[in-house]
Homo-oligomer: A and B are copies of this chain.
């Protein structure tokens, strides 16, 4: 018996399978099934962001199954909502899939979306989407969120005297990617499935951080309530993203070490970088430096200009081939 492929099902049947996996988690006024979803937005403001995972530059099928792909596509978008101080409420998922993709992959993808919402952003669910065929597997996600009686936390509000703080891990996703590239490719460089037995516990954690990241989504609204003056999610490495926040705010971020190279320049962890007025930090955040008047450099590490490359570039660090 050959495996069922996407082309063997009608769009309607494939959609029905996806909705069955997602379950009745919708909290929308109008959920999936009409021309558009209608969401209640307490406070009359909505936070909206979109981010896409494309086969090749963003993931390889030898390493990433449907479940991890759905989980990561949800997680990276939830992190962007959280970075505004908002609470995610809905995802819209535009799926473009090759017609020879096995149908169970799509079921797993839907399960990954469902579980990422449950685990990282309870109350958030997939409320709409679109399904089309493409030669390149592409998952484009839009995340919506609400601000619960707080102002949006932008990149531009850091002030001299503020504490620089982080929530979440830094460097694990980059170490995980390095393990994948170094140890799970054949002689020709083609990705091969990951053998968990060949990994130590710490290595497994790093690979998992790369393939199924769990950014600190709940810490976003907590930071906003605690008075965070600026915030962003760290997707391209701490040095590069800290520079962006410093430039937007017109200040220098004086970071304090020690920090290893993966933490400084490795991307895709989706930790939250925030600045707070002096005083105790909210739960989940740890101090990593101080905001000072703008000096020669946008970011310093232990008082010096950081050395090494600036940050993460998925088109360089992932290399655009297929696998």
Contacts and interface: CB of A to CB of B under 8 A. Distances in A.
Interface residues of A, number: 62
Given A136-B135, A152-B29, A54 B96 contact: yes
Most chain B beta-carbon neighbours within 10 Å: one of A56, A94, A129: A94
Given A47-B38, A48-B128, A80-B36, A54 B232 contact: no
A144 B48 CA distance: 9
A57 interface: yes
State the oligomeric state as a number of copies.
Answer: 2
Interface in A65-100: 80-81, 83-84, 86, 90, 92-94, 96, 99
Nearest to A86: B36
B92 A38 contact: no
A25 interface: no
A92 B262 CA distance: 32
A12 B139 CA distance: 22
Interface of A: 29-30, 34-52, 54-58, 80-81, 83-84, 86, 90, 92-94, 96, 99, 127-130, 132-136, 138, 140, 142-145, 147, 152, 154-155, 231-233, 314-315, 320
Given A50-B128, A134-B138, A135-B136, 5 more contacts: A35-B155, A48-B90, A54-B133, A56-B135, A58-B132
